[in-house]
Amino acid sequence: MKKNIAIIVSMIVVLTIGGFGLLLDGKDAVSLAMQQKGSILTAEQINVSFQQVGGKVTDVRVQEEMQVKKGDVMIQLDPTDINLQIAKVTSDIQSTEIKISQMQDSIRIGQQKVKTQESQTALGIRSAQTAESKILEGTRKEDLEKQRLAVDTARESLKNAQTNYDRIQSLYESGAVAKSALESANLQLISAQNTQKQQDETYQQLSRGAQQQDKDQARQSTEKAMLGLEMIAQSKAELQNSAMGIDLLTKSREVLQIQLESLLVQKDRLTLRAPLDGKIVKVIPKSGENVSAGAPVILLQTNQIYYDFYVDETRAAKLTVGDSIAGHVLALDQNLKGTITFITAAPQFASLRMSREKGQSDLNTFQIRVYLERTKNILPGMTIEVNVE
């Protein structure tokens, strides 16, 4: 029994001394792994979800293991509600456009009316001012002389009409003419009398000059004509208000247009399309089920393939993102070039602690990720070795 115990103790001592020696020489498991830099090819997988929309699933067009191309339709949600909203907003836009068109036509007609009012008002003001000026200036000598001649002519016409009537009356009494001739002569006499009376009154009015009442009426006529300018100003103000109304309707139409574009974007998001080429790994919902916005519905394995390996900080300092690096795929016995996409400090458990007895400080480990251009021969899970020396 004592002999067995001695043998076991001896083996433990030997193994301890040997392991410690390997550690000092840098041939422990961690050091060897760092030197070999082997890794596994991994296919990138992404969770695909509906962006900011949810609803009832009406169509599932993919299944597990199916290959898809970027843009292929995978799942469709029910668009009934969004279609109704789109129809309403579209109708509101059309109604607003009709209102804008009607107001624009009304403004054009109103502007034409204002131009007509301005012309008529200007003409009326000039006429009223001319009449008022004449009344205020009084009767000119030439006008008074013309009226006196008109009075003399009217008197001569009355004298001739009276003479003609007396002659026709004598002939009628003797039976030489008919009664109608006498009546006609009488009408001519009455007309001549009225004409003379009017001309006499006009002459007397011109002789006296304009009365205060006439002056007041002329001034009122001018003021009335000037009121047309205020009406024109009011019409222009109404047209300006209508133009402001068009601006408001235009802003409203722009808001509705933005709403429509937003609804169209939401409708497009009801159709879930493949973001990249790849293979369907898992389909979560079934037709008829409801899904929430942002919830993963499909797990997609993309055609992008990568591998990670770890190096110490001295080797990491020699590498740069974007560098090309070669790796050897053991299963294919083929060297493949890839591109370094990121270099980052590895978790603490991957750090390489050197021996203090050698006088060296601890070294941190860095994770290097390399993406490859995938071919049909490259499969996820294959082993690849990298030489960074």
pTM, two decimal places: 0.57
Q: How confident is the model at residue 64 (pLDDT cuts 50, 70, 90)?
A: very high
**Chain segment 69-101, per-residue pLDDT in tens:** 999 999 999 999 999 999 999 999 999 999 999
Local confidence band at 356 (pLDDT 50, 70, 90 cut-offs): very low
Residue 210: strand, helix, or coil:
coil
Phi and psi (nearest 5°) for 338? Answer: -135, 180
Greater pLDDT, 66 or 26: 66
Q: What are phi and psi of 56, to 5 degrees?
A: -90, 130
Nearest CA among 15, 30, 23, 27 for reference residue 358: 23
pLDDT surpassing 90 at residue 263:
yes
Average pLDDT, the chain: 82
Contacts of 217 by beta carbon, 8 Å cutoff, 6+ apart: none
Residue 178 has pLDDT above 70, yes or no: yes
Q: How far apart are CA 3 and CA 10, in angstroms?
A: 11
Q: What is the pLDDT of residue 24?
A: 44
- Of the ranges 139-153, 276-290, 302-316, which one carries the lowest mean pLDDT score? 139-153
Per-residue pLDDT at 296:
95
pLDDT at 28 over 80: no
Across residues 227-245, what is the average pLDDT?
Answer: 84
pLDDT category of residue 358 using cuts at 50, 70 and 90: very low
Angle at 271 between CA 268 and CA 277, to 5 degrees: 115
Top pLDDT among 341 and 139 is at 341
Q: Give pLDDT, residue 86.
A: 96
Per-residue pLDDT reduced to its tens digit, 108-149: 888 888 888 788 778 777 777 676 666 655 556 677 778 788
CA gyration radius for the chain? Answer: 56
Share of the chain above pLDDT 90, in %: 38
pLDDT of residue 341: 93
Rounded Cα gap, residues 386 and 375, in angstroms: 19
The pLDDT, as a whole number, for residue 202 is 76
Task: Give the pLDDT band of residue 10 (cuts 50, 70, 90).
Answer: low
Instruction: Check pLDDT > 70 for residue 4.
Output: no
Inform me whether the pLDDT recorded for 354 exceeds 80.
no
- Token digits for 212? 């205060």
Instruction: Specify the pLDDT at position 32.
Output: 47
Position 297 confidence tier, pLDDT thresholds 50, 70, 90:
very high
Structure tokens belonging to residue 6: 């001695």
pLDDT score at 65: 92
DSSP state of 363: B
Look at 387 and 282; give whichever has higher pLDDT: 282
User: Which of 22-26, 159-163, 211-215 comes out lowest in average pLDDT?
Assistant: 22-26
User: Residue 329 CB: number of other CB atoms within 10 A?
Assistant: 19
Average pLDDT (206-233) is: 70
Reply yes or no on whether the pLDDT at 26 is more than 50. Answer: no
pLDDT band at 23 (very low <50, low <70, confident <90, very high): very low
